[in-house]
Amino acid sequence: MKLGVVTFAVILASSAPGAQAAGDPAAGKQKSATCSACHGPDGNSVNPVWPKIAGQHAEYARKQLLDFQSGRRENAQMTPMATPLSAQDIDDLSTYFSTQVIKPGTTAPEHMDLGQRLYRAGSARDGLPACMACHGPNGIGNPAAGYPAVQGQYAEYTAAQLKAFKAEQRANDANSIMRDIAAKMGIAEIEAVSGYIQGLR
Ligand code: HEC
Ligand code: HEC
């Protein structure tokens, strides 16, 4: 009887939408020493040029690591870190960091108004969709759809990614989804929405 209940619970958990299974978080923790130099031992980096990766969906982190390996996404610091990883390392590390909890930042008062408006409602004038439509009201994204968590992230990193999408320097987004969105934003809007996201939780 007891065993039956446990088995049922396990089946439920593993069939939940967006369930991540492949990696072993304990093995990932063991392999994470090099990563922690920049991203912090728990995925909360202390320098805004290095993204926080704590709590990011394992599937999304996995895709980014594979994209760095294949050259679809390029970064002078991160590419050499991804290159030597095996497929198992990638699964273990992505799973480990996904089990960590992000420490969100705060929103500077000057970014609250415009930043919040863009995030929650977009801009009809510029044909800009609400970020919330995909990244969620609290910025936790949607793992099944491949929409990353963005909440609490350093504004400097978020703005750098949006500028890179806008300039087509980052082009690993399927169907140009983020390049088309970033193209509709000016620099002031990028700064505002990134500032807002930094305090989103
Ligand atoms: C020397 C510093 C450094 C080290 C060490 C490092 N990273 Fe990174 N990582 C970065 C930078 C910088 C970026 C952002 C790259 C960009 O701007 O495109 C990044 C991005 C990432 C991303 C994508 C985050 C996102 O939100 O898109 C993941 C996942 C990641 N790193 C995982 C790792 C793992 C796993 C390791 C260890 C094997 C590691 N990193 C080691 C600097 C580092
Ligand atoms: C239609 C869905 C959709 C909308 C709307 C959307 N995004 Fe995205 N966003 C995505 C997808 C998909 C990715 C992942 C791209 C990839 O696979 O590398 C992404 C990635 C990002 C990233 C990179 C995250 C990282 O850590 O690598 C940032 C930052 C971002 N979006 C910000 C925004 C902002 C700000 C808005 C609103 C102005 C917005 N997005 C609207 C789908 C969307």
**Per-residue model confidence as pLDDT tens digits over 41-97:** 999 999 999 999 999 999 999 999 999 999 999 999 999 999 999 999 999 999 999
Q: Which ligand is nearest to the CA of 73?
A: 1
What is d(CA 77, CA 147) in angstroms, rounded to the nearest whole number? Answer: 24
User: How far is ligand 1, taken at its centre, from the CA of residue 181, in Å?
Assistant: 23
> Is the Cβ atom of 81 under 6 angstroms away from ligand 1?
yes
The best mutation among 32, 34, 38, 161 to test binding of ligand 1, ranked by most ligand atoms within 8 Å of the C-beta, falls on 38
What is the reported pLDDT for 21? 53
Q: In one letter, which amino acid is 81? A: M
| Cα(50) to centroid(ligand 1), Å | 7
Query: Is-contact 68 170, C-beta < 8 A?
Result: no
Q: How far apart are CA 60 and CA 37, in angstroms?
A: 21
Atom of ligand 2 nearest to the CA of 170: 18
What pLDDT digit, counting tens, does each position of 164-188 carry?
999 999 999 999 999 999 999 999 9
136 lines ligand 2 (CB under 6 A): no
> Which band of pLDDT confidence, cut at 50, 70 and 90, is reported for residue 17?
very low
CA separation for the pair 114, 99 (Å, rounded): 32
Q: For 62-77, what is each residue's pLDDT tens digit? A: 999 999 999 999 999 9
Comparing C-alpha atoms, which of 130, 131, 59 is closest to residue 93? 59
